[in-house]
Amino acid sequence: MAEEDEESGPVVELGAGEPVEGAPLARITSRLHYAIPKSDVVQREGDAVIRTPDGPRELSDILEESDETYFPREQDLTSAVRSVIGTGPVPTDNTDEA
């Protein structure tokens, strides 16, 4: 395969609407070192706003609703957050024009 072919791969168009407020949960959880207590997560990243199916929310508010107090692995923190916020698409202001 020629180098030109690799550089001219498929083009993906991005939406033209406003950006979605908040950061992806994975971006926040990847900045931490595990195992970690909930209090350290709140201290380090509690003011981070994450994207949720119900709109942007502060991580500290979400963790306040969780009964978990310690996260041995990143997956444990992610699961605790998802159990509070649920799963589903993040709402955007973009509308599809078909």
Structurally, the chain folds into a number of domains equal to 1
Beta bridge partners of 37: 70
Q: Digits of tens for pLDDT over the chain (98 positions)?
A: 455 555 565 665 555 566 778 999 999 999 999 999 999 999 999 999 999 999 999 999 999 999 999 999 999 999 999 999 998 887 776 545 44
Query: Is residue 48, in this structure, part of any structural domain at all?
Result: yes
Angle at 43 between CA 41 and CA 45, to 5 degrees: 60
Query: Is residue 80, in this structure, part of any structural domain at all?
Result: yes
Domain residues for the domain of 64 are 21-85
Cis (ω within 30 of 0) for the bond into 16?
no
Q: What is the pTM of this model?
A: 0.74
Helices (H), the chain: 3-7, 25-29, 38-45, 59-64, 74-85
Query: Is residue 6, in this structure, part of any structural domain at all?
Result: no
Query: Is residue 11, in this structure, part of any structural domain at all?
Result: no
